[in-house]
A and B are shown apart, each in its own frame.
Chain A
Amino acid sequence: EADIYQTPRYLVIGTGKKITLECSQTMGHDKMYWYQQDPGMELHLIHYSYGVNSTEKGDLSSESTVSRIRTEHFPLTLESARPSHTSQYLCASSDRLLSYEQYFGPGTRLTVT
C-alpha cells in the first residue's frame, strides 16, 4: 500500500494569491514528481526530484516552483495564481531501484477565479 499524501484536496483561490500544494510520502522514496492534468488529457510532468536538494523542470513548462529539503516532502508553490493555473496537480514518488513504477497521491484540484 503506497503512502503518499497531498493537501489540500480541493482549493479555490483568487487571482494573484500565493499558494503552496503539499506532498508527503512515508515510503522513503528518493524520486518524487509533480504532474499537471487537465480533464480528458494526459498527465504532463512539470517537476521532478531525484533526492534532497535536487530539483529539475519537467517536460511541460510551468510557472510553479518546487523544493526538496527533506526526502519525504516535495511542496509546489505558485507565487501568483492565475486562471490558467486551474488544473489537477498530482504528486508521485518512486523507489530508486524500481523507479519505473510511480506511486501517486490523490491529487489537488486547483481552481483560480
Chain B
Amino acid sequence: DQQVKQNSPSLSVQEGRISILNCDYTNSMFDYFLWYKKYPAEGPTFLISISSIKDKNEDGRFTVFLNKSAKHLSLHIVPSQPGDSAVYFCAASARGGTSYGKLTFGQGTILTVHP
C-alpha cells in the first residue's frame, strides 16, 4: 500500500523552461509535505516544504503547490538549470501519535535538464 506516489519515473526539460514534478498521496492524515533532491552517490538533501494549512510555498526558483482536495502536490522549478538534474523525492508526514516526525517517501522522479 503505497501512500505517496510519484507516477512519472522521469522528466526531461530544456534549460530555461519550467520543470513540473508531481506527487499524489492517499493518507488524509498527512499534514506536512517535503521535496528532497538526490544526486548519485549522495544522500537526499532537503529542498522545500509545505504545511497543509497553505496551498503554496515559494523559495527562489522552487515553488510547491498543494491541492488538499485532490491529495496532490507539485514542485515547479523555474527556470530549470542543468545543475537541477537529479532524482526528486516527494515525502509526507502525519502530525501526532506514533507517526510524528516519520516521513513516507515516493519512488522519485529523475529530472534531466538539457543545456
Interface residues of chain A, those whose CB is within 8 Å of chain B, are: 2, 4, 6, 9, 31, 33, 35, 40-45, 48, 50, 58-59, 90-92, 94, 99-107
Contact between B93 and A40, CB atoms less than 8 A apart: no
Give Cα distance in the complex from A107 to B42, angstroms. 7
Task: Please give me the residue from chain A that is nearest to B42 by CB atom.
Answer: A106
Interface string of B86-115 (1 = CB under 8 A from A): 000100010000001111111110000000
Cβ-Cβ contact count across A and B, 8 Å cutoff: 63
Task: Please give me the residue from chain A that is nearest to B31 by CB atom.
Answer: A100
Starting from the known contacts A2-B45, A94-B101, A100-B93, 13 additional A-B residue pairs (CB-CB under 8 Å) come to: A33-B102, A41-B108, A42-B2, A42-B4, A42-B106, A43-B44, A43-B105, A44-B105, A45-B103, A59-B102, A59-B104, A100-B101, A107-B43
Contact between A101 and B43, CB atoms less than 8 A apart: no
Contact between B43 and A105, CB atoms less than 8 A apart: yes
Contacting A at CB under 8 A, from B26-67, are 32, 34, 36, 41-46, 49
- Within the complex, what minimum Cβ distance (angstroms) separates A88 from chain B? 9
* Given A100-B34, A100-B101: A40 in contact with B43 (beta carbons within 8 A): no
Q: Which bracket fits the contact residues of B? A: 20 to 34
Task: Please give me the residue from chain B that is nearest to A37 by CB atom.
Answer: B105
Q: Does B9 contact A (CB under 8 A)?
A: yes
Contact between A31 and B101, CB atoms less than 8 A apart: yes
Give Cα distance in the complex from A94 to B102, angstroms. 10
Cβ contacts under 8 Å, B2 to chain A:
42
Give Cα distance in the complex from A66 to B107, angstroms. 25
Give Cα distance in the complex from A90 to B102, angstroms. 14
Interface residues of chain B, those whose CB is within 8 Å of chain A, are: 2, 4, 9, 32, 34, 36, 41-46, 49, 89, 93, 100-108
Give Cα distance in the complex from A59 to B32, angstroms. 18
Partner of A101, one of B42, B46, B89, B102: B46
* Given A43-B89, A45-B102: A100 in contact with B49 (beta carbons within 8 A): yes
Contact between B32 and A100, CB atoms less than 8 A apart: yes
- Within the complex, what minimum Cβ distance (angstroms) separates B94 from chain A? 10
